[in-house]
């Protein structure tokens, strides 16, 4: 074992950086026989700066501890892109990158959010951790505006599994491609903008749009399209940390495909959305310890309507779930966090639970 030294390199010289984060979670629902402990994720990051302008960013993630032909975990390349800065303001990225959507997707280390589990809106509606492969241009301006826009791979609606509940839990996560031999006949477009013009305040929005059938032979809805947009805000006056987000997704033109599924458990929804509001108070303790109680309220609906299905077979709407979370983040130092929370569900009350977690990021 050879220790890795501290940053001696001048900014123009090549340098390699290793980072890591991890989460270990314990969930105890009302039905205690469902209590579970899990290495939710262990991530190794590798970055390399080739020169002052160009770097490589990558993340390798193991979920659920073990990946093999007979285990339930998986190994994932979560990011792998090259970034080239044209000047202090503009830059380009090529490869597999996190989509600049919402508050959590690009900022998903356990030390960065409140609560043991990531919020539902940014997992069920925005399919975090959502990444696509493609090209991106971005800008960071002195007036506090930052933005990005690009062309990427998109979703594959032909993967929709109407017999599974996955499409109901998170419509877009069930048809994401993660750049694994991804169908790429149809590409998608995205844009994002954030404003940080006032210290402590961030306001932002994003939009994504792309066809999802890829000319697949025999697929009933060749023109089907996926869209997603969000609005988000974060404000940190003093010790308070307040945030709110609304996200809405759609799968348009999938009515003919739905007809072929008539009677199946999970048809394709035409719209799904959700919002949350969250307030935390960061209480600074001795050293750099922080005790942060927080509350969050979320509402989301993963199926607002279903095209193409006659009245008797059309679910209409799944109904809007509401989740209240009350909890505590304790940061032993800025890189290590212990978490506890209670979650109550409005509709699916059997999911009410206690969560405990440990996480780190460096």
Q: Of 327, 324, 344, which is closest to residue 110 (Cα–Cα)? A: 327
Task: Report the site for a copy of itself in 245-274 (rule: CB under 8 A).
Answer: none
Query: Is residue 95 near a copy of itself by the rule CB under 8 A?
Result: yes
Q: 90 vs 240, which CB is nearer to a copy of itself? A: 90
Among 12, 14, 163, 260, binds a copy of itself (CB under 8 A): 14
Cα–Cα distance for residue pair 46/266, rounded to 1 Å: 39
β-sheet bridge partners, residue 353:
29, 343
CB within 8 Å of 330: residues ≥ 6 apart: 289, 290, 291, 292, 337, 338, 339
Query: Is residue 44 near a copy of itself by the rule CB under 8 A?
Result: yes
- Please give the structure tokens belonging to residue 143: 């007036």
- The count of residues interacting with a copy of itself (CB under 8 A) is 84
CA–centroid distance for 219 within its chain: 28
Query: Is residue 149 near a copy of itself by the rule CB under 8 A?
Result: no
Q: 163 vs 200, which CB is nearer to a copy of itself? A: 163
Number of residues assigned to the chain: 362
Q: Which stretch, 174-182, 246-254, 289-297, 306-314, contacts a copy of itself (CB under 8 A)?
A: 174-182
Cα–Cα distance for residue pair 148/92, rounded to 1 Å: 9
Q: 4 vs 311, which CB is nearer to a copy of itself? A: 4
Q: Which stretch, 28-36, 201-209, 312-320, 342-350, contacts a copy of itself (CB under 8 A)?
A: 28-36
Task: Report the site for a copy of itself in 104-133 (rule: CB under 8 A).
Answer: 133
Least gap, CB of 352 to a copy of itself (angstroms): 16
Least gap, CB of 317 to a copy of itself (angstroms): 30
Query: Is residue 161 near a copy of itself by the rule CB under 8 A?
Result: no
Q: Please tell me whether residue 16 adopts helix, strand or coil conformation.
A: strand
Query: Is residue 310 near a copy of itself by the rule CB under 8 A?
Result: no
Query: Is residue 333 near a copy of itself by the rule CB under 8 A?
Result: yes
Q: 38 vs 169, which CB is nearer to a copy of itself? A: 38
DSSP state of 34: G
Q: Please tell me whether residue 108 adopts helix, strand or coil conformation.
A: coil
Q: Please tell me whether residue 174 adopts helix, strand or coil conformation.
A: helix
**CA angle (182, 184, 186) in 5-degree steps:** 140
Least gap, CB of 152 to a copy of itself (angstroms): 9
């Amino acid at each position: 074992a050879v220790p890795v030294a501290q940053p001696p390199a001048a900014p123009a010289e090549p340098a390699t950086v290793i980072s890591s984060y991890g989460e270990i979670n314990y969930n105890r629902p009302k039905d205690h026989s469902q209590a579970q402990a899990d290495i939710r994720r262990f991530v190794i990051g590798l970055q390399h700066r080739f020169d002052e302008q160009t770097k490589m960013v990558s993340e390798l993630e193991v979920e659920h501890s073990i990946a093999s032909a007979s285990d339930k975990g998986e190994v994932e390349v979560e990011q792998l892109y090259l970034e080239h800065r044209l000047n202090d303001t503009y830059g380009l990225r090529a490869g597999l990158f996190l989509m600049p959507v919402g508050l959590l997707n690009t900022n998903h280390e356990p030390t960065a959010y409140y609560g043991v589990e990531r919020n539902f809106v940014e997992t069920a509606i925005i399919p975090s951790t959502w990444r696509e492969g493609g090209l991106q241009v971005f800008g960071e301006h002195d007036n506090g505006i930052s933005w990005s826009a690009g062309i990427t791979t998109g979703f594959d609606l032909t993967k929709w599994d109407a017999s599974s509940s996955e499409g109901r839990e998170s419509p877009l996560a069930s048809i994401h491609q993660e750049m694994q031999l991804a169908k790429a006949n149809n590409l998608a477009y995205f844009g994002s903008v954030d404003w940080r013009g006032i210290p402590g305040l961030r306001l932002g929005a994003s939009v994504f749009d792309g066809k999802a059938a890829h000319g697949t032979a025999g697929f009933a809805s060749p023109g089907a399209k996926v869209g997603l947009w969000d609005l988000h805000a974060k404000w940190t006056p003093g010790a308070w940390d307040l945030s709110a987000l609304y996200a809405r997704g759609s799968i348009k033109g999938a009515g003919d495909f739905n007809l072929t599924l008539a009677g199946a458990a999970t048809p394709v929804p035409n719209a799904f959305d959700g919002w949350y509001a969250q307030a935390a108070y960061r209480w600074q303790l001795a050293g750099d310890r922080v005790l942060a109680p927080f509350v969050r309220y979320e509402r989301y609906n993963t199926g607002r309507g279903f095209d193409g299905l006659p009245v008797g077979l059309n679910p209409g709407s799944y109904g809007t779930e509401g989740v209240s979370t009350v909890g505590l983040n304790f940061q032993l130092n800025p890189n290590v966090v212990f978490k506890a929370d209670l979650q109550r569900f409005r509709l699916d009350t059997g999911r009410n639970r206690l969560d405990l977690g440990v996480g780190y990021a460096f």
